Chains A and B, each alone.
Chain A
Amino acid sequence: MARKVKFLQGNEALVEGALLAGMTFYSGYPITPSTEIAELSAEKLPKIGGKFIQMEDEIAGIAAAIGASLTGAKAMTATSGPGFSLKQENIGYAALTEVPLVIVNVQRGGPSTGLPTAPGQGDLMQAMWGTHGDHPVICLTPDSVRETFDLTIRAFNLSEKFRTPVILLTDEITGHMREKIEIPDASEIEVLNRLKPQVGEKYIPYKVMEGDLVPKMADFGSGFRYHVTGLMHDETGFPSNSTQNAGILMDRLMAKVEDHKDEIIDFEEIQVEDAEYLILSYGGTARTAKAVVKKLRAEGIKVGLFRPITVWPFPEKRVHELSKQVKEILVAELNYGQMKLEVERVSKGNCPIRFCGKANGEVLTPEELIQKFKEVL
């Protein structure tokens, strides 16, 4: 066992996680506040025989990663707001062609060039709805350095298992914050790899076995010559204008995530068992919320925290249950209420939903959140 104790930024821990998950390819474009991810990948990948390339733009950054993944590499690209906007085109491509890939968005203050060095959480809805057309989305959000490490591994595993791009939505708070982290030995980490066809097997690239949803994926160059297209295709992988085929494909793509929600969705709960009030927060902002729950509990107020770790698909069932238990839910996030909309949708009017947030590049302080919490007490 070779555990290592380190003092790392979230962005650095992310690269450590990616390497232990099996990343062998990184392509991207420099952008604050994600750049450390590219810099560390550039340093570390060639040492293990992997590849790093700085592409000419963000679009090329994700495109090259998809190309690499098709040869069997585990590939990642990282960016921040403006770059995430540019990557949307090929996120849809990877979803439709079912190419495993991890896309990191270290959120900063937006819109546009916005506040490059300050935190924000304004890309939550973009992570779900950014690319055109319906498509499956898995999006994970850490609130600490250690969890950034863990979720990076999980992002690779989910992308390999479900053959779909996975978005790791961090933020400038967790990305640049330093914490002590114990990095486990490789033997302690579960690593999942895509299923590949066996040599000699008759390979129909997008055909799934009865009751299964994820087709096997051959590496380009391994002897299975097949076609990959961003057009609607049938199970052979070739373009098809058949609306029936398109329906079958779309249903299967959406079901990959929809039918595995229980496995994909993860969240943290703090003192919710007897909670009369709930604070719901995620990512870097959840750290503020954790401090607030502690303080309010010390005052005798029965408040708990619900923190989605998987933000897409949204932990709908559990939030709905909690909305029946508590008197109100206060959603805290660094935007103008993107997750609040989701909480309102799933709580179906069971309790009032209030909101505390801003998008001026500052973190939310415990004082601000406490003040908001007490407004209606």
Chain B
Amino acid sequence: MNHPLVETAFRMEKLPHIWCPGCGHGIIMASIARAIEKCGLDKDKVCIVSGIGCSSRAPGYMDFNTLHTTHGRALAFATGVKLANPELEVIVIAGDGDLSAIGGNHLIHAARRNIGLTTICFNNNIYGMTGGQYSPTTPNGEKGTTAPYGNIDKPFDIAQLAIGAGATYAAKTTVFHVQQMDKLIENAIRHKGFSLVEAISICPTYYGRKNKKGSVIDMMNWLKDNFVDLKVAEKLPEDKKAGKFLMGEFYNVSAPEYTDEYNKIIESLKK
């Protein structure tokens, strides 16, 4: 028997999904569905927009207004959707390459405008759809098919990048920490303005294999052992924090939202 959420939030006839066994993306997709339900959103008023890549196939499975766009451009399309109809709750799903490489310009400007879009980055540190090339979030020294001798690039921290660009909500979580993920995505959807949740995913097929990360369980355990909530980290002694990655809600402030500001102009011109 299916979980009731599968029947209410998904297009049953489009499942099963195309992702590889062990891929973390399904966990994030389900978390988004739970968060939408928790927020009590009208399905007809939810629009999910994606670009190109493994993660970008998610909207096709989800029973909302769904828009699968061109590589990197999801935020630009979503900006048009949101500005034209601010009543819509617009959620953007993007991979690390999609969002921070080819779509990097759109990311910083959507964040700068503080337009009411919720962006969920499915970050698996690799280009999966094209077969395992290194991405802007592949850690230094790690391998990809286009970094056969190890990656010499420095990786982006996408959540911090969004904050730097002007996002008013930014958080990071992992596919191991599902309860936290549900809460953070819910918060991001409820947030007024540009919000971003960087969800660290796993790609056992390419990233894991190429970098000898072991089994799917090993990769999940690695997330468990290496990510620490920032509130927990505050209380930890320095030696326990060394080498760990922080997750949790990094930034949450309120500031004027773009479509509200535009509507104010429209109202002022009516006088």
Contact = CB atoms under 8 A, between A and B. Distances in A.
B79 A228 contact: no
Interface in A49-101: 49, 51, 53, 55-57, 59-60, 63-73, 75, 89-90, 93
Contacts of B65: 220-221, 225-226
Contact of B106 (A56, A69, A219, A239): A56
Given A71-B88, A90-B73, A225-B44, A64 B262 contact: no
A63 B87 CA distance: 19
Contacts of A73: 84-85
Given A89-B70, A93-B69, A222-B44, A66 B106 contact: no
B44 A67 contact: no
A27 B113 CA distance: 14
Given A225-B64, A227-B59, A230-B68, A64 B79 contact: yes
Given A55-B76, A63-B76, A225 B63 contact: yes
A226 B67 CA distance: 9
A349 interface: no
B85 A66 contact: no
B88 A227 contact: no
Contacts of A49: 266
A65 B67 contact: no
A71 B109 CA distance: 22
A177 B79 CA distance: 34
B78 interface: yes
Given A46-B262, A71-B85, A221-B88, A228 B80 contact: no
B83 A230 contact: no
Nearest to A62: B76
A227 B81 contact: no
B3 interface: no
Contacts of A71: 81, 84-85, 88
A49 B267 CA distance: 8
Which of A24, A25, A56 has most chain B Cβ within 10 Å? A56
Contact of B66 (A27, A68, A228, A231): A228
A67 B81 contact: yes
A221 B45 contact: yes
A66 B77 CA distance: 7
A360 interface: no
Which of B44, B78, B83 has most chain A Cβ within 10 Å? B83
A223 interface: yes
A221 B81 CA distance: 10
A67 B68 CA distance: 11
A336 interface: no
A229 B68 contact: yes
A57 B105 contact: yes
Given A46-B265, A226-B65, A227-B59, A90 B106 contact: no
A4 interface: no
B60 to A, nearest CB: 6
Interface string B76-114: 111111111101100000000000000001101100000
Given A56-B109, A221-B44, A227-B60, A70 B67 contact: yes
A238 interface: yes
Contact of B88 (A59, A63, A220, A229): A220
Contact of B67 (A25, A51, A60, A228): A228
Given A221-B44, A223-B44, A225-B44, A64 B83 contact: yes
A317 interface: no
Nearest to B71: A89
Nearest to B262: A51
A239 B47 contact: no
Interface of B: 14, 43-45, 47, 49, 59-60, 63-70, 73, 76-85, 87-88, 105-106, 108-109, 262, 265-266, 269
16 contacts: A46-B269, A51-B84, A56-B108, A64-B76, A67-B82, A67-B84, A72-B85, A220-B47, A221-B85, A221-B88, A222-B44, A223-B44, A225-B44, A231-B68, A238-B14, A238-B60
Interface of A: 24-25, 27, 46-47, 49, 51, 53, 55-57, 59-60, 63-73, 75, 89-90, 93, 219-223, 225-231, 238-239
Given A46-B262, A56-B106, A227-B66, 5 more contacts: A27-B80, A67-B82, A90-B70, A221-B88, A228-B66
The 4 closest A-B CB pairs, nearest first, are: A67-B80, A64-B80, A63-B76, A68-B84
